[in-house]
Structure 1
Amino acid sequence: MSTPTPGTTTATIRAIVFDWSGVLTESPLSGLRRYSAELGLPETALHRFVRGDQEFAKVERGELSVRDFLKGVCVRVHEEHGVDVEIRRLGAAMADTRTLRQPMLELVAELSGRYTLAVLTNNVAENRDHLASTLPLDHFDFILNSADVGVRKPDPLIYRELLRRLGCDGSEVVYIDDFAENLPPAADLGMATIEFTDPDELRARLAELGI
């Protein structure tokens, strides 16, 4: 789904902003689903702790360490399901989908130099070095990590900070995210928004915007 801002023309687009996990990388939830299956738990038993969970929101705002969060999940899963979760295996399940999508890397390379490119990610402080070492930073102007600014999507404040760093008006920006709930605050600031499903569909939506 793409939502061009009313009155926006292709000539005004100056910047394209990507979510990281689930857009530039594979789904952030698939590893947790697999581990849930290994434990004999419902598919959503583990990944619900990282989507819409208030404790994980603290991690993404830099208020709680990943290790303390994982310890808490182990306790909560045992209380709810009577199943022992291995903390290292849980951490690995959260991290094993951080592989970048090759078609997205190709798209980023094509757009680089024509548009300002940035990453806006709800992420954790512990991933800061991983992001810097994995992403092709020569193509991106900056990475805006929720843990570094103490506010996370969909809080409007992080989108305002994004525009400040870009030096753009909302109407000059396209924002791409795989979580639909993260798009409305960007659209409210005038950005064209695209809900990511796969790289080919994204190319089609960008083409509709003249990109």
Structure 2
Amino acid sequence: MAVEAVIWDFGGVFTTSPFEAFNRYEIEVGAPRDHIRKVNATNPDTNAWALFERNEIDTQGFDELFLKESTALGHPIRGADVLPLISGMVRPRMVEALKLCKQHFKVGCITNNMVTHHSPGSDAPQRPRGAMGEIMPLFDHVIESSKAGVRKPDPRIYQMMCEALSVEAAACVYLDDLGVNCKPAAQLGMRAIKVVDVDQTLAELAEATGLAFPATEVAQ
């Protein structure tokens, strides 16, 4: 089936991975490498991270529960100290790729986010500024876990996007930096691309869509 839509994750795709910031912070506080990721991967549907991304707990609840979970895994870290680490640096070539895709296909964004740290569709005081504020309006449709009450990798959130864009899953390309989120997309019939780095991603996206993406950043 011909491609009709390209669906994107946000963090770790249009921005550098927060995992890099997590690792730097772990060094600063003397925690084991990937300790924060371990906390997030333990009981992944019911832990503090999952509850916060579905907006089932508030910032204080996340702070306290993450501290409890990280302590149980050997090194206490407050949730409030993790939140500032989430935002990464924008990847300009990925933004240009989105703009090119938008000229030929429907484009959507599925983002697992948190009410106090999400970018699209939020109330005015929380709306993103600068580059992030320019990216989100490019999408034809955005689904935020904190508003939808469902988060990746739940297959329902991908089906919601297909319905919103009026496309079949088999006509979609999906990009995400986490393999666990790519798997359900692929199972639904999407062409899933795991984002490892920009060059690899754009090469695979070019193969899937037939588009030619610039090898270097576009001069402004």
- TM-score, normalised via structure 1 length: 0.83
Alignment of 1:144-159 (within 5 A): 144-159=143-158
CA distance in 2, matches of 1:51, 1:80: 11
Structure 1 position 77, deviation (Å):
3.7
**Contact residue 124 and residue 147 of structure 1 kept, 8 A:** yes
Structure 1 position 74, deviation (Å):
2.7
**Contact residue 22 and residue 36 of structure 2 kept, 8 A:** yes
CA distance in 1, matches of 2:24, 2:203: 31
CA distance in 1, matches of 2:127, 2:182: 22
Task: Provide the alpha-carbon RMSD of the alignment.
Answer: 2.2
- Structure 1 residues 55-111: Cα deviation after superposition (integer angstroms, max 9, x where no partner): 21111111112332122223444455465x466543322x3x333211211211222
CA distance in 1, matches of 2:198, 2:187: 25
2:12 is equivalent to residue 13 of structure 1: no
**Contact residue 36 and residue 43 of structure 1 kept, 8 A:** yes
In structure 2, the residue corresponding to 1:26 is in which secondary structure? Answer: coil
Alignment of 1:45-60 (within 5 A): 45-52=35-42, 53=44, 54-60=47-53
Alignment of 1:48-127 (within 5 A): 48-52=38-42, 53=44, 54-78=47-71, 80-81=73-74, 85=77, 88-93=80-85, 95=86, 97-126=87-116, 127=118
In structure 2, the residue corresponding to 1:99 is in which secondary structure? Answer: coil
In structure 2, the residue corresponding to 1:20 is in which secondary structure? Answer: coil
Bigger mean CA offset, 136-145 vs 191-200: 136-145
CA distance in 1, matches of 2:30, 2:170: 47
Letter in structure 1 aligned against 2:146: A
Q: In structure 2, do the counterparts of structure 1 residues 131 and 172 end up closer, same or farther at CA, with 3 Å as the change threshold?
A: farther
Structure 1 position 131, deviation (Å):
6.5
Structure 1 unpaired stretches of 5+: 1-7
- Structure ranking higher on relative contact order (CA contacts 8 Å, 6+ apart): 1
Structure 2 unpaired stretches of 5+: 212-220
Letter in structure 1 aligned against 2:106: T
2:23 is equivalent to residue 24 of structure 1: no
- TM-score, normalised via structure 2 length: 0.80
Percent identical across equivalent pairs?
28
CA distance in 1, matches of 2:19, 2:201: 20
| Counterpart position of 2:170 | 171
In structure 2, the residue corresponding to 1:62 is in which secondary structure? Answer: coil
Q: In structure 2, do the counterparts of structure 1 residues 81 and 154 end up closer, same or farther at CA, with 3 Å as the change threshold?
A: closer
Count of matched residue positions in the alignment of Structure 1 and Structure 2: 198
